[in-house]
Amino acid sequence: MSGFLKEFRDFAVKGNMIDLAIGVIIGAAFGAIVSSIVDDLFMPLIGIIIGGIDFSGLVIQVGEAQVKIGLFINAVVKFTIIAFVLFLVVKGINAMKRQAAEEPVETTPAPSKEEILLTEIRDALRARQ
């Protein structure tokens, strides 16, 4: 049992796990911000522009059921915003990777004429001994 707990502890405190947890928390906060932007800013403005429609209350009645089309439209707008922001993030990361790959790798400079001459002298002295 202690081996299982040690293995779990090692897994839980790995850097990748902590990075993932931080990413999830930031993602949740970002989702809340996007929800507020869509629900409180975009959709009311769009509703005013197209004739005073309140999208959050837009419902189609089908018999006893209510099809809440306004909430679906809000969800689509939220998804589009989040997908666009993630696209920009991935695009930026890929650009940085390409830039890092294009940077020249430091190479050792070619030996100078003096170094070549000294090497030849050293080799000639070794050959005489």
Average of per-residue pLDDT values in the chain: 84
Give the span between the Cα atoms of 7 and 91, in whole angstroms.
Answer: 36
Provide the domain count of the chain.
Answer: 1
Q: What is the pLDDT of residue 18?
A: 75
Is 38's pLDDT higher than 90?
A: no
Show the domain range for 82: 2-128
What are the residues whose beta carbons fall under 8 Å from the beta carbon of 60, sequence distance 6 or more? 66, 67, 69
Domain CATH for 42: 1.10.1200.120
pLDDT tens per residue across span 70-116: 888 888 888 888 888 888 988 998 888 888 877 776 778 888 999 99
